[in-house]
Chains A and B, each alone.
Chain A
Amino acid sequence: MLNYLENTKIKQNMSDFIQHAVRQNDLQKLLHEFTDIKNEFPFGQLAYQHYVAFGGQDKQAITKLAAGIELLILSADILDDIEDQDNDSYPWMKCQSGIAMNAANVLFALSFDVFSKLDHGAKLLNTVYSYSIQSMQGQHMDMTLEPENEQDCLNIMKSKAGSLFVLPCVLGVILATGSFEKNVEEYAYYLGMAEQLENDYLGLFNKENIDFKRMQTLPLVYLKNEFNPASSDLLSYFQSKDKSISSEELKDKLKKSGAQQYVFIMRNLLRNKFKEAFKKLHLEASKKKKLILFLIGDGEDENSGIG
């Protein structure tokens, strides 16, 4: 697990990369503003944990990789917020969207420069390219299609969010070994989708940021069936401007509709597929245990049968 010092190093690397590559003062300042708000680096951590599990030992190299990944993810987050017109308080939503988009493009290009200079650079770049394109296609589907059923929604989740979760995991392995691990890709997709489903569910409680037209998530797909009056009430609530309902009331309605149970079940089915795929990983038992504890270790039943 990354400690505070290592997080600080990732942040410092991100800042250094910007400092060296971007000479235009105003743009450089803006990019520092964008990166300064980040103090946690979950995607960098995913890469780090996989790098260590697969025998990587060069702390400097993995810190650079983690910083490059965080730059790339930040660029995706900025573009996602602009494309979705999210009403949040991030600095990129407070400046002109054109300026923020250009800054996001700089971060994206900068990350490619970082990857290219590491060991196995060509393989890293090829992999980043592949998952980035996949995620962008997922984003396009998310913006243009209205999923009609569960499978449509899962496909979009896999492309848009799953691919960005897979990316750091496989990059960490490539940096450590020079090889692509199919097993890692498989389990990371499932876990990434499970995490996205949690986010989508939590998003239902975000009163500031609910745009029904853009809420094409799995819980909404369930509600749209209108199996019961609670589902219909919730659909009306999400479409209305009045968001006076309390979180407890909302939670109660979600339970009465079955949406809460449905999300829990779908999330655990994905996590179960993750565990099954993880079992196939060829690693020492102690390393597998450490890795899975990082990925899903939350005191549930996650260690059973893994090893």
Chain B
Amino acid sequence: MKIQELVSYLVENPSTLNQIVNGNASLLHVDQVTASIIVEGFQKEDVIKAIIWATAGE
């Protein structure tokens, strides 16, 4: 499966993402864990948090 193509498709077709979230559609050849990570990638606003281990000594 090509994640890049999948992401670009979902960017252009947000309704498909909604259908996946609602359980009316699924991603072919994608396991459950990967599918939930993909959905989360579109639902969370902030992608990158601080690098935890780099600041742990503060």
- Which residues from chain A sit less than 8 Å from chain B, CB to CB? 1-4, 6-7, 40-42, 45-46, 150, 195, 198-199, 201-202, 221-222, 225, 227-228, 256-258, 260-269, 272, 294-298
Given A222-B4, A228-B8, A228-B12, A261–B41 Cβ distance below 8 Å?
yes
Min CB distance B31 to A, Å, is: 11
B7 contacts A269, CB within 8 Å?
no
Rounded to whole angstroms, the CA-CA distance of A265 and B7 in the bound complex is 9
| Chain B, 7-58, CB within 8 A of any chain A CB | 7-8, 10-12, 33-34, 37-38, 40-42, 44, 47-49, 51-58
B57 contacts A40, CB within 8 Å?
yes
A296 contacts B37, CB within 8 Å?
no
Interface size class of B (residues with CB under 8 A): 20 to 34
Query: Mostly helix, strand, loop or mixed at chain A's interface?
Result: helix
Out of B4, B7, B33, B48, which one reaches A201, CB within 8 Å? B48
Rounded to whole angstroms, the CA-CA distance of A41 and B54 in the bound complex is 7
- Which residues from chain B sit less than 8 Å from chain A, CB to CB? 2-5, 7-8, 10-12, 33-34, 37-38, 40-42, 44, 47-49, 51-58
* A276 nearest in chain B by CB position: B33
* B45 nearest in chain A by CB position: A255
Q: List 29 A-B residue pairs with CB atoms under 8 Å apart, sorted by A's residue number.
A: A1-B57, A2-B56, A4-B57, A42-B53, A42-B54, A42-B56, A45-B56, A46-B53, A150-B3, A199-B51, A222-B4, A227-B8, A228-B8, A256-B11, A261-B10, A261-B11, A262-B3, A262-B4, A263-B47, A264-B40, A264-B44, A264-B47, A267-B48, A268-B40, A269-B34, A269-B37, A272-B37, A295-B52, A298-B49
* B47 nearest in chain A by CB position: A264
Among B5, B8, B12, B38, find the residue whose CB has the most chain A CB atoms closer than 10 A.
B8
Min CB distance B32 to A, Å, is: 12
Min CB distance B42 to A, Å, is: 5
Rounded to whole angstroms, the CA-CA distance of A193 and B34 in the bound complex is 18
Out of B37, B49, B58, which one reaches A265, CB within 8 Å? B37
Min CB distance A202 to B, Å, is: 6
Min CB distance B1 to A, Å, is: 11
Rounded to whole angstroms, the CA-CA distance of A3 and B2 in the bound complex is 43
Min CB distance B36 to A, Å, is: 9
* A263 nearest in chain B by CB position: B47
